[in-house]
Amino acid sequence: MKDKIIAKATQLFLKLGFKSVTMDDIANEMCISKKTIYKYFCNKELLIAESTDAITNTIYSTIDEIVAKKHNAIKENFEIIKMIKEMFVSIETSPSYQLKKHYPEIHEKLTEKLQSECTTLFKQNIEKGIQEGLYRDTINVSSYVYFYYALIFTINENTSSEKKAKKLELEALEYHIRAMATPKGLIELNQYIISNQS
């Protein structure tokens, strides 16, 4: 039952927003009593924290699936952005923006977790790109990881529209790759952009 509550709450939070969804809304959607929800979650904040954990775990497992497909480093980056965009396609307000505004403590804990995971992911991608000859081997990997992380999280925390945030993320990714790319990498990047224009 706990997992079912988390799943339904997550669905509602992403569709309607963390602030606007009440415990009553979740209970009504599930045709259960509010008391049943409080049996597992003493307050809404705890349920939001569990829901954001569920969302990030889904994102990480999907990223692992994409990485396992052995795309080159440039395509891998775009496939990850594309996957995240598809996951949040029905959302109007950026989840990160909502959390920062209404639930700053949950947002802070989530950001700490994301920073660690994303730093590892970005570092692995850059090192892979260098090995493939797509990124320059003279770049300072740690600096570029930091630059890209700062770009992505500034966008998500300060852009209320999820659609606009995803557009900016895509542009930030292109900017990030162009800053690192070798001539071979630029050819790969341009071919990928042309073949995915629609």
Q: What is the pLDDT of residues 124-160, one digit of tens each?
A: 999 999 999 999 999 999 999 999 999 988 998 888 8
Token digits for 134? 């797509």
Convert the pLDDT of each residue in 26-54 to its tens digit.
Answer: 999 999 999 999 999 999 999 999 999 88
Q: How confident is the model at residue 18 (pLDDT cuts 50, 70, 90)?
A: confident
Indicate if the pLDDT at residue 172 is higher than 90: yes
- For residues 116 and 160, give the distance between their C-alpha atoms in angstroms, rounded to a whole number: 24
DSSP states of 3-21 as a string? HHHHHHHHHHHHHH-TTT-
Q: Which among 92, 120, 111 is positioned nearest to 49, based on CA atoms? A: 111
Q: What is the pLDDT of residue 163?
A: 84
What are 100-130's pLDDT values in tens digits? 888 888 888 888 877 888 889 999 999 999 9
| Phi/psi at 133 (5° precision) | 75, 15
pTM of the model: 0.82
Beta-bridged to residue 95, according to DSSP, are: none
Helix (H) or strand (E) holding 111: helix 104-131
62-98 residue pLDDT tens: 899 999 999 999 999 999 888 877 777 666 777 877 8
Contacts 24+ apart (CB under 8 A), 27-35: 30/4, 30/5
Does the pLDDT value for residue 56 go beyond 90? no
Q: pLDDT band at 198, cuts 50/70/90?
A: low
Exposed e or buried b per residue across 73-96, where buried means at least 16 C-beta atoms within 10 angstroms of its C-beta: bbbbbbbbbeeebeebeebebbbb
